[in-house]
Amino acid sequence: MAACFRSIASLTHSPRDVSRSGIVLSSCSVLPITHSSSFTGSPVILPRVQPSSRTTLRPRKLVPITMMVKPTLQFIQGTDEMTIPDVKLTRSRDGSNGMALFSFDQPSVFDSSGEVGEITGLYMIDEEGVIQSTDVNARFVNGKPEGIVAKHVMRTPKEWDRFMRFMERYSNQNGLQFVKKQ
């Protein structure tokens, strides 16, 4: 029988002791308890559990897990914009670059921007990550905020494809449809 005790204060927090999850990992020496030990408790013997002969152990098949995130737009990180925008897309003839223009009429961010924080950009969030645009302008009528216009420029075909995947998810979630200009 062996025992191992270690106080929390004696742990060293070197990089090898801390796992990615933040759990402190520690190893300690295992020494047999001899008859001359000061241990006064009774030894405990636990039977080993053996799998039944009918059960064969198979390696578990690993299945990749995809995080499903509701596609959303945000002007303030952490606060979803509830107003659905009009989106106009333009693309160069050779497909090398493009632009998306988002027009929000009476966006909900105006209701809470003073309480939550400042508008820092347009964040397009989905399961692939975040697309960010900092070209955001507010429209004012008679000194009151009326709307927001945000522009997102795509400089490569890869950026265009990523944006289109986001827009497909966002439009499916919010009932938008693509209408090609005549």
Residue type at 171 in one-letter notation: S
What is each CA distance from 41 to 38, 44, 121, in whole angstroms? 9, 9, 66
For tokens 């998810």, the residue is 169
Q: Range of 134's domain?
A: 72-174
Assigned domain for 149 exists: yes
In a domain, 53, yes or no: no
Q: Compute the half-sphere exposure of residue 24: CA atoms within 13 Å on the CB side of its CA.
A: 11
DSSP, collapsed to helix, strand or coil, labels residue 114 as: helix
In whole angstroms, what is the distance from residue 64 CA to residue 54 CA?
Answer: 30
Whether residue 133 is contained in a domain is answered as yes
The confidence score (pLDDT) of residue 145 equals 87
Is position 132 within any domain? yes
131 in any annotated domain: yes
CATH code of the domain containing 117 = 2.40.30.220
State the total domains in the chain: 1
Predicted local confidence at residue 44, as pLDDT: 67
Question: So what's the pLDDT on residue 181?
Answer: 75
Q: pLDDT digit of tens for each residue in the chain (182 aa)?
A: 444 343 333 334 444 444 444 444 334 444 444 445 555 556 667 677 666 655 555 666 766 655 568 999 999 998 999 999 999 999 999 988 999 999 999 999 988 656 667 888 999 999 999 999 999 999 999 988 899 999 999 999 999 999 999 999 999 999 888 787 76
Does residue 64 lie within any of the structural domains? no
Residue 160 domain-assigned (yes or no): yes
Looking at 63-137, list the stretches that DSSP marks H as alpha helix, in order from N- to C-terminal side.
109-116
In a domain, 66, yes or no: no
Both structure tokens of 54: 């009918």
pLDDT of residue 56: 58
Instruction: Report how far residue 103's alpha carbon sits from residue 101's, in angstroms, rounded to the nearest whole number.
Output: 7
